[in-house]
Chain A
């Protein structure tokens, strides 16, 4: 059954790649079939908790293919299928033949290829083939990011992504070959018995951490997510970076862990969560804001995972199970609300042609559906009840709080809880800003005033995502049950432990809360209608002619928090002041640089290329000097042998 479904998944994607260039409708149909069959297969595995295994009877690159779909990969496959399918629907209108006659056909092919390669990454259980799939996935993503290759920014972002991605892949090459050399087989599976393999985890953390967007390794992420077409940003942020998370989760379950791995994961998680959201809050570009918010959410995921690793080391299933279940749910949740938010941002970009928040505003009037759906996404990403974001964070918090309640050796958990709370509050600030500046108030530019609502094909995916998000919020038990099966695969020794998550009570409370909120809003609207309303000007201390430019802007909204993180953000200002009797135009331009890239890695690379340029002078084409080099080299070697006896 599962084999057949996955066969349909693969074949229809291959077919979609072939016909995608010329037949957009058939491509859309094939993608829907793919998504449904893949979802069905993944759900079957999740519900029955029976892994699906398949050994090929032939050699591919000297190894027999070995595919495996177990709970962990099925969970990530759900995301691939969901966002892959809904994104295809969205792209059909958003990146249509009509608007982009040159890149739309390519975009369709690469989209299907990306979905297929991510499916392969999740199912390949042979290290060699995994690397092939991983490389294909990285390349497909590159071509999707640079789809609009007339755009210089997109090309630059693509190169940066490709370079960063390959730096990670290099670590993965080292990891998989070392693993194969030490275990004697390329096939992947649990290797707890060989304690000597533990240091390999650092390679895993670096290699997959680059893709996941873990804090200091996130450098490629903001520009790639911001400059890619929005449906691509959605799948990159919701699914592609989750492949990195998948790798870390997968191998932290299979490898023997170094002693301090849990603390390191927790530390990187805290750094990503706090600093990621600080960057997000300071951004003026709506898509960059969402991109940095992905860094924060990966941080939350890593905090949960780090605590689970600690729980394994301390033999504490009670904390570990709650935290790990929360981590897995948060992986799913972030995929849902982040793709929703990127779709929403894409609709805004589509309608107004700008991502700059200081040129937007008042869009609720012209795009009420997008505004409403985006607002739900913003509530969810801020972790507010009764939506899905809260449920995942609630479970992770419970793991942390239980660890605190038992005291024990885990004093380092205290700062993690405080950081998580701070990041949550900053996320709320960032999204209050995003929603408030983009959708509320008065339009700050002409395009924003004349925008039109997106069409049905762009609205439907967002609507479906919101439905699933509300379902997770109201019925957390239904979703936690299969996730417990996934947890049992990661840590089989916890299978019997009770995670002590009061999902039923939470679900009931959420349902009542949602009813109360809806009733409250409705009754208030009715009360207002009965009492009567009078339209009036916004009260600005008696000022009679307010203009849209007097509104609080995105930069000023973030001002206070940006001041706290000044040491990190280092905003660059270009100010043209009002001067003279007949002043010209005044303007303030603010840019938040990607500090790690521009202040640390950039100068480092420059220093290396400067040194390399210096070394170039030794290569001048004068033969007699070359002979001198050889002579000096041989003499030095001879001396070393004589003196040291090497």
Chain B
């Protein structure tokens, strides 16, 4: 398959499937609460509606306020394109592309913080400060997980990095990555995606002033990021590359669905954490990634 068709197909897959995940989460939450809940495709409708709307711009904001969400979205989607999809592998890969992935997510974070600082709102400044500070802990957790994979596989390219870990290591890594997934995608117990105005918000409060197409970009980008973390988590833990193509892709899809349902369940069953405990839980996530690293390192000694 020529490279650009391959990339175009992956792009379609990421862009079209990603908004499904928040829908699934909301459905799970509704079921647990005994409500009917919004349709699974609700985010698609929201995006279509937002895309047609006009924009209210704060009088303080520069054109960067509009550009930043677009740049953040592009960065997240590019990062997603770098990830292998189980048996389908990667479209293109090179040594050290995993660092590009981490830093593209950082670029998206910088742009979101930029957009928040544009409006001069105390709330959004607060959100930006929290986002960039907590991201320090999340990022060292992610890099630790990556180190585990590097030690396990002996490779530093995403195409060959995802080798199955041994049992307990895989379980620990799954828990660690799941905690980081919750933090980075602003889910309960770190953040509550349902409300915007609480002082304990992190991510949601940064996008208070966005509206119209930029908000659509932000919502869609968040969905892609959630899917990116789920795909990363599933492949870091499950030995997918050993299965035949079709089977591995369906197992990947199933496990992404499972992660999403788990996020929904966590969201229904736990309360949001007291704000001061957030760094603590993130540190626990980091430790959950650190133990498998030490396990794999000591493995053949």
Contacts and interface: CB of A to CB of B under 8 A. Distances in A.
Q: Which of B128, B129, B209 has the most chain A CB atoms closer than 10 A to its own CB?
A: B129
Size range of the chain A interface in the assembly: 35 or more
A158 to B, nearest CB: 35
A537 B106 contact: no
Nearest to A387: B107
A163 to B, nearest CB: 35
Contact of B109 (A362, A428, A528, A558): A428
Contacts of A365: 62
A559 interface: yes
B244 interface: no
A505 B94 CA distance: 7
A241 interface: no
A506 B100 contact: yes
A537 B121 CA distance: 10
B79 to A, nearest CB: 10
A133 B11 CA distance: 58
Contacts of B92: 505
B243 interface: no
Contacts of A561: 133, 136
A551 B95 contact: no
Given A441-B117, A548-B120, A405 B155 contact: yes
Interface in A342-380: 361-362, 364-365, 368, 371, 375, 379
A35 to B, nearest CB: 32
A560 B130 contact: yes
B147 interface: yes
Nearest to B50: A531
A550 B58 contact: no
Contacts, number: 248
B139 A502 contact: no
A384 B113 contact: no
Interface stretch (B40-48, B64-72, B166-174): B64-72
A421 B143 contact: yes
Nearest to B130: A560
Interface stretch (A74-82, A518-526, A616-624): A518-526
Interface stretch (A1-9, A26-34, A394-402, A599-607): A394-402
B8 to A, nearest CB: 13
A364 B74 contact: no
B117 A422 contact: no
Given A418-B140, A418-B143, A513-B78, A520 B70 contact: yes
Contacts of B31: none
Given A385-B107, A398-B96, A536 B114 contact: no
Q: Which of B73, B113, B126 has the most chain A CB atoms closer than 10 A to its own CB?
A: B113
Interface stretch (A111-119, A197-205, A406-414, A573-581): A406-414
A505 B217 CA distance: 28
Interface in B44-90: 52-60, 62-64, 66-67, 69-71, 73-75, 78
A376 to B, nearest CB: 12
Contacts of A513: 74-75, 78, 104
A425 B123 contact: no
Contacts of A441: 60, 117-120, 125
B208 interface: yes
B151 interface: yes
Nearest to A432: B113
B261 interface: no
Contacts of B260: none
Contacts of A48: none
B144 interface: yes
B293 interface: yes
Contact of B78 (A405, A436, A505, A516): A516
A435 interface: yes
A382 B106 contact: yes
B120 to A, nearest CB: 3
Contact of A440 (B52, B78, B118): B118
B212 interface: yes
A60 interface: no
Given A442-B60, A525-B67, A432 B117 contact: yes
B67 A521 contact: yes
Nearest to B109: A428
Contacts of A398: 95-96, 99, 156
Size range of the chain B interface in the assembly: 35 or more
B55 A394 contact: no
Contacts of A411: 297
B55 A533 contact: yes
Contacts of B197: 541
Given A385-B103, A432-B113, A552-B129, A536 B59 contact: yes
A431 B117 CA distance: 12
A440 B197 CA distance: 22
B57 A533 contact: yes
B213 A528 contact: yes
A527 B52 CA distance: 9
Nearest to A510: B100
A533 B211 CA distance: 10
B193 interface: no
B129 A501 contact: no
Contacts of B139: 421-422, 424-425
A559 B133 CA distance: 9
B190 to A, nearest CB: 14
Contacts of A442: 60, 120
A539 B121 contact: yes
A564 B119 contact: no
B126 to A, nearest CB: 6
Contacts of A516: 74, 78
A274 to B, nearest CB: 10
B214 interface: yes
A411 to B, nearest CB: 7
Given A384-B110, A401-B96, A425-B106, 20 more contacts: A382-B110, A384-B106, A422-B140, A425-B135, A432-B128, A436-B117, A437-B117, A440-B62, A440-B117, A441-B118, A502-B94, A502-B95, A509-B100, A517-B75, A521-B67, A532-B54, A537-B58, A538-B58, A551-B125, A561-B136
7 contacts: A394-B99, A418-B144, A425-B106, A429-B136, A436-B128, A531-B52, A540-B122
Return the 10 tightest CB-CB contacts between A and B, nearest first. A552-B125, A436-B117, A441-B120, A502-B94, A524-B70, A429-B132, A421-B143, A560-B133, A521-B67, A505-B94
Interface of B: 52-60, 62-64, 66-67, 69-71, 73-75, 78, 92, 94-97, 99-100, 102-104, 106-107, 109-110, 113-114, 116-126, 128-130, 132-136, 139-140, 142-144, 147, 150-151, 153-156, 197, 208-209, 212-214, 217, 279, 293, 297
